[in-house]
Each structure stands twice: as structure tokens, then as C-alpha cells.
Amino acid sequence: MDTQVHREQIHNALKAFARGTLRDNARRLFDVLGYRSERRIDLSPNTAEAFLDQFDPEGKLNAKTALLDHWRSVDLLFQLTGDEINQTMQGRLPFSGGRVDDKIIESYLFFTVDLTNDQYTRTQFADFTREINKLFRMPVMLLFRHGDYLTLAIINRCLHKRDESKDVLEKVTLIKDIRFASPHRAHIEILFDLSFDALLARHAFTNFVALHSAWQKTLDTSVLNKQFYQELANWYFWALDHVTFPKDAPKDRDERDAISLIRMVTRLIFCWFLKEKGLITNDLFDEQKVLPSVAKDVKKWQGFVPAAARVRTLSWESGPSIEEFPEILSQRGFTLPQRELRPDGWRLESPLKLRLLEKLRSAGTPLGEYVNGRFYRGVLTGLNEAFVIDRATRDRLIAEHPSSRRLQNSWVWGKVFGSPDSGNSRSEMKKIVLPIAMTFMTTRLNTG
């Protein structure tokens, strides 16, 4: 099958989740990916209670960890065995189950669960997946639907070293938050790479353990990151031969285009991040909606900024997690007129600070103009002897100039301890720290 046609089929299978039953849509998606089987048990009703009656008669499941109160429905899609895979492979390679190293996999179970909330953490999905896998002797792959998203969970398990009748449940890998109404290209690419034919062409597996290993390698984050940055670098070098930027950029064309292109890429990535967080509209990334409006009357509107245009701005400080970004933006963000984003530089400060800055600029001469652009490094502080004096020197300076007392601070083993007037005149005070202003004064005194 043509790879582009296959990607379109995956795209259409994902969009189908917006209608119909979750069970049928999930089976259709796995069928498109090349995983199919008629070994099925349809739960009726497909509720959490029916699941527990069928698969957990001994009551092993932890209801809290498995988010049992969040289940809208649950379905066993199918059991995938070596027979079904041999039919799919059509004799290309002999396939079998059994033990390989410390793993025994004879088949897989595929379940789908519909959850009530829109968002869950990775930890919740991982704990849920481990909890379900405790009930079965074979790996269970789970497809979750939560709101407008799908999440696929794949677990790694191996034999217990002391008791081979038990399995050790290891890492859970997730393809999280697949927006089925408008799937990301990246999600489609990952699902395509997980499809049976794509994995077989790349890894030539002949048993379930090797198939499982192929899944794990495909979903390895380090591999995905490397692939992403490689594709980004390829696009950058391609674009470098095709882009042009305004002539008022740096004169060196190679340097100008390289720097401008890097800036454009980083801003696009940031805008994509904002889109993923729902802070800007998806229409900005819809070519059919954006290009006509951009191309229309470009010359007419070039350089024009509507008076009502506003930009939402935030001075971000390190510390809070990225999940807190929308709330912090709503609390601390401020609005700027777009006309304040000037070609000579963006000053992303509140209107009050901008007015103060303009007042300072109009009241005096900027330092750059005052010194005719001749900036120097000034006083270097690497020579501590220039700023740290002993008590005898301190007493001499105060005797000669009593006003210097307020410029001196006591220093105890590398810590600023307070001024000599603060009452901290104990024997622990070994050194006195001179601020830069005092150093200038001392230098003037010594030189005359």
C-alpha cells in the first residue's frame, strides 16, 4: 500500500471517533494499523461492573488506581495471537509465540475504555494500565477516550526472576492526547510507524517479544526527539536556499537569512505550543484559511496596525510548571497596544512602566548618546583585594573620613554580616567589604 494513502486512512479512522461507537471505531483504527482478530468477547452491558464480573471475580483490582468511577464504558476489542499475525504476514516470515530471554508473550489483549474527564496525567494513565494488566497473564494494550482525545497505552512486562509464574510490570509508554477531530501530523506519523507493515519492514520480527520490542523502540522518546530535530534541521537547510528577508536586516545575506530563519522557526514552534494549549486559534495553522487573507491586499495594508489591536503579554519567571501557564497568564498578564511593538525593539512591560520609561527618555540624554557610543567594561570585581580590607584599614579609613562608615559592611566567612554600626562587632568579623563607590573614593584619596 502507498504510504501516503495509509496515512490518510489513519487520519480518517481517527476522525471517525467523532461519531459511532467507541468499540467499532477502535477496532477500525487497529484494523487500519494492521492488527485484527475475530477472537472477541463483547461485554453486555459494557460497564465497569460487567468487566469486574468477567475478569476480576477475586476482587484484585484497585478501584481508585483504575479510576473505576470514571468509566463510561469498557470493551474487549480482540485477542491477537500468532495465528492472526501469520495470516497478516501471508508467509513472508514464520511467526510464533513463546519465550525469548526473560519474556514470554503468546498473545495480546486490546481493550478500550471511555473516561468521563477531558484530561488525565501521564501517571494516572500509567497506573491505570498497570492495574488492568495485573488481571491478565498477557500484555494488555489500552486505548482511552477522554473528551475529544485518545490515548494509547503500551506496557512492558517481563518474567519475575524468582517466580516465573508471575510477571513484573515495567514501563508504560503512552501516545497521549490524540485529538481525533483534527489529528496532529506528528500523531499520525507515530501511529503509521507503529503499524504492522511499517514495523515489519523495519525490524523483521518473528515472534511477539520482538514485535513488542519494535513497539518500544518506535516509541522511545530519545529516538523520537532525535528524529524530530533531524527533520527540523533538514527543513532548515532546505528553507535556507528558498527564503528571502527584508533588505533592512544585516547586510551579509548569508548571516541575515540564517539568523532570520532561525528566529522564524523558534517563533513558529512557540506559536504551535500556544495553539496546543488552546491560547490561540487553530485557524492560524489552517493553510486554506490563512493564505487567502494574507495574500489579499498585502500592499494596501502593509505597515498598517489597527488602533484597536492588542497583544496579551506576560513576563514569565522560572519556577512554575508549564501546566500553570494559562492561569498565570490570566492573573499576571497585561495588554499592550500592538503599535508599541516597534521595529527598533519590543518593550514587553506594563503600560505604567512604559510611560515611566518614556518620561525618563524625554527628561535626559541616553547614556549611549552621552558617551558617543564609547562603552567600556568599567571596574572589574575579580580582584577581591580591591574590595576586601582588614580591620586596621577600616579603622584608618573611618578616622580619615567618618562618612565612609556607612559604606562598609562586615563579612564573616564569605557572608555579608551587617554594618559596623549594627552591633555585630564580635571577634568573628574578620573582613570588611567595600562597595564599588567606596573603592572609587579610596582610589581618589590615595592618588591625591
Residue 419 has pLDDT above 50, yes or no: no
Q: Give the pLDDT confidence of 162-189 residue by residue, as tens digits.
A: 544 455 666 888 889 999 998 888 889 8
- The pLDDT of residue 222 is 58
DSSP letters for 306-358: -TT-EEEE----SSS-GGGHHHHHHHH-EEEEGGGSBTTB---S-HHHHHHHH
Residue 143 has pLDDT above 90, yes or no: yes
Phi first, then psi, for residue 411 (nearest 5°) are -130, 120
Q: What secondary structure letter does DSSP report for 90?
A: T
Instruction: Count CB-CB contacts under 10 A for residue 424.
Output: 13
Residue 104 has pLDDT above 70, yes or no: no
Task: Tell me what the mean pLDDT of segment 217-228 comes to.
Answer: 70
Residue 102 has pLDDT above 50, yes or no: no
Q: Give the pLDDT confidence of 424-445 residue by residue, as tens digits.
A: 443 333 444 444 433 333 333 3
Task: Tell me what the mean pLDDT of segment 303-328 comes to.
Answer: 72
Q: In whole angstroms, what is the distance from residue 149 CA to residue 278 CA?
A: 14
Q: In whole angstroms, what is the distance from residue 45 CA to residue 49 CA?
A: 9
Residue 207 has pLDDT above 60, yes or no: yes
| Mean pLDDT, rounded, of the chain | 76
Domain boundaries, the chain: 3-219, 220-293, 308-376, 384-447
- The pLDDT of residue 438 is 39
Task: Tell me what the mean pLDDT of segment 113-117 comes to.
Answer: 96
Closest C-alpha among 278, 268, 111, 265 to residue 182: 278
Residue 309 has pLDDT above 60, yes or no: yes
- The pLDDT of residue 306 is 61
Q: Which helix (H) or strand (E) holds 107?
A: strand 107-115
- The pLDDT of residue 252 is 63
- The pLDDT of residue 204 is 77
pLDDT band of residue 232 (cuts 50, 70, 90) is confident
- Three-state SS for 109? strand
Pairing of strands 103-105, 140-146: unpaired
pTM: 0.55
pLDDT band of residue 310 (cuts 50, 70, 90) is confident
Task: Tell me what the mean pLDDT of segment 275-299 comes to.
Answer: 68
The residue that leads in pLDDT, 282 or 196, is 196
- The pLDDT of residue 352 is 81
- The pLDDT of residue 420 is 43
Q: What secondary structure letter does DSSP report for 207?
A: B
